[in-house]
Amino acid sequence: MGERISEALHKKLTKRLSFYQDIGIGFFYRDRIPQQSTLASAETTISPAPSLPGVALPKPFQKQQPIKPAGTAPPALPRRDALPVPASASLFEAMNKVADDSLLKIRADLGDCTRCKLHRGRTTLVFGDGNPKAELVFVGEGPGRDEDEQGLPFVGRAGKLLTQMIEAMGLQRKDVYICNVVKCRPPENRTPEKEEVDTCSPFLLRQIDAIAPKVIVCLGSVAAQTLLETNRGISHFRGEWLEFRGRKLMATYHPAYLLRNPGAKGEVWKDLQKVMAVLGLQGRKGSQTGKSS
Ligand code: SF4
């Protein structure tokens, strides 16, 4: 017989496990031991989640593969053992793909979300917008004022620039899917805090899995660092093909950065041309082969 736990702890655990179940987590990794050599070679022990009455857990998950460069001869991504290692196992590593998930179900699971403090300042939760079967998904940081008011991602000045870039690729916004790491506007458009990202990003992961795009484009550091689980600056891997859960991932600058630094538009356009090549968009009517304006 196992050790008995208090009723208060039992309730707390039940509530926490119900939340993890909502977002598709059934098992948990034990924390890494810092002095163990590398992420790539370390054996990670999987501890089954404790069994609680009334909490039916989803099927066990497959251990996620470490990030690795995709393509035939890609520039090397810094090895994960060279990247800063989180102190404990991440939600992403603990998440399994939710069977038969859909954007509608994910939106329903989010509900009138109060899981992190960003809900206090929001007008509208900005879930995402576009083609639920898109081959191309853009991931930004979080809603700004215009997005918060309209409930749609990338509709302000930066959004207009993103729309121009999408159209320059020979696509329309309705062809792609656009979403953010956090779904509620951070006060004064500040960068989302780690706890907010950790709380909200599992829903982003489910969105990506449900859409199953061919290519993910991360717009800016927060999106890239969240999906790649690194603290390294985006300039270290911007423009390189990376892999995220079996999909091609390209990190590039955020359109808001381009508004402040128009000289960087050319770099972003080079990145998007690589995306166009993978999606077979080059030469299509509407696509521009030159530098974006
Ligand atoms: S940012 Fe995400 S986790 Fe936080 S309240 Fe909004 S929807 Fe919920």
CB of 182 within 6 A of ligand 1: the answer is yes
Alpha carbon separation from 108 to 23, 100, 103, 222, 243 (Å, rounded):
11, 14, 8, 25, 29
Residue nearest to atom 6 of ligand 1 (CA): 184
What are residue 275's phi and psi, to 5 degrees? -65, -45
DSSP 8-state secondary structure symbol assigned to residue 239: T
pLDDT of residue 97: 64
Residues in the chain: 293
CB of 113 within 6 A of ligand 1: the answer is yes
Pick the atom of ligand 1 nearest to 114's CA. Answer: 5
Q: How many Cα atoms are found within 13 Å in the side-chain-facing hemisphere of 234?
A: 23
Widest Cα–Cα separation across the chain: 70
| Higher pLDDT, residue 65 or 211 | 211
Is the pTM of the predicted complex or chain greater than 0.85? no
Pick the atom of ligand 1 nearest to 113's CA. Answer: 8
pLDDT of residue 36: 41
**Three-state DSSP state, 51:** coil
CB of 125 within 6 A of ligand 1: the answer is yes
pLDDT of residue 278: 98
Cα separation, 293 vs 282, in Å, equals 18
Average pLDDT of the segment spanning 276-281: 97
The answer, yes or no, to whether residue 287 has pLDDT greater than 70, is: no
Cα separation, 92 vs 94, in Å, equals 5
Distance from the alpha carbon of residue 189 to the mean position of ligand 1, in angstroms: 15
Cα separation, 54 vs 159, in Å, equals 45
Task: Show Cβ contacts of residue 284 under 8 Å, excluding neighbours closer than 6 positions.
Answer: 170
Cα separation, 233 vs 220, in Å, equals 10
CB of 116 within 6 A of ligand 1: the answer is yes
Q: Which amino acid is at 119?
A: H
pLDDT > 90 in the chain, percent = 61
Distance from the alpha carbon of residue 91 to the mean position of ligand 1, in angstroms: 15
Q: Give the confidence band of 10 by pLDDT, cuts at 50, 70, 90.
A: confident
Tokens at 57, concatenated: 């857990």
Q: What is the DSSP string of 64-122?
A: PPPP---SSSPPPPPPGGGSPPPSS--HHHHPPPPTT--HHHHHHHHSS--SSGGGGG-
CB of 185 within 6 A of ligand 1: the answer is no
Distance from the alpha carbon of residue 200 to the mean position of ligand 1, in angstroms: 5
**Which helix (H) or strand (E) element contains residue 196?**
helix 194-211
CB of 23 within 6 A of ligand 1: the answer is no
Q: What is the pLDDT of residues 151-171, one digit of tens each?
A: 999 999 999 999 999 999 999
The answer, yes or no, to whether residue 224 has pLDDT greater than 90, is: yes
CB of 107 within 6 A of ligand 1: the answer is no
pLDDT of residue 7: 82
Q: Give the confidence band of 9 by pLDDT, cuts at 50, 70, 90.
A: confident
Q: Which residue has the tokens 């035939």?
A: 72
Q: Give the confidence band of 264 by pLDDT, cuts at 50, 70, 90.
A: very high
Average pLDDT of the segment spanning 212-233: 97
Cα angle at 190 between 201 and 136, to 5 degrees?
45
Q: Which amino acid is at 159?
A: G
Tokens at 5, concatenated: 């736990």
Pick the atom of ligand 1 nearest to 192's CA. Answer: 1
Task: Say what the alpha-carbon torsion angle 242, 182, 170, 102 is, to the nearest 10 degrees.
Answer: 90
The answer, yes or no, to whether residue 122 has pLDDT greater than 90, is: yes
Distance from the alpha carbon of residue 181 to the mean position of ligand 1, in angstroms: 10
DSSP 8-state secondary structure symbol assigned to residue 23: T
Alpha carbon separation from 212 to 103, 132, 135, 151, 246 (Å, rounded):
11, 9, 7, 23, 10
Residue nearest to atom 3 of ligand 1 (CA): 200
Q: How far is CA 186 from the centre of its chain?
A: 17
154, 255 contact by CB (below 8 A): yes
Cα separation, 232 vs 50, in Å, equals 35
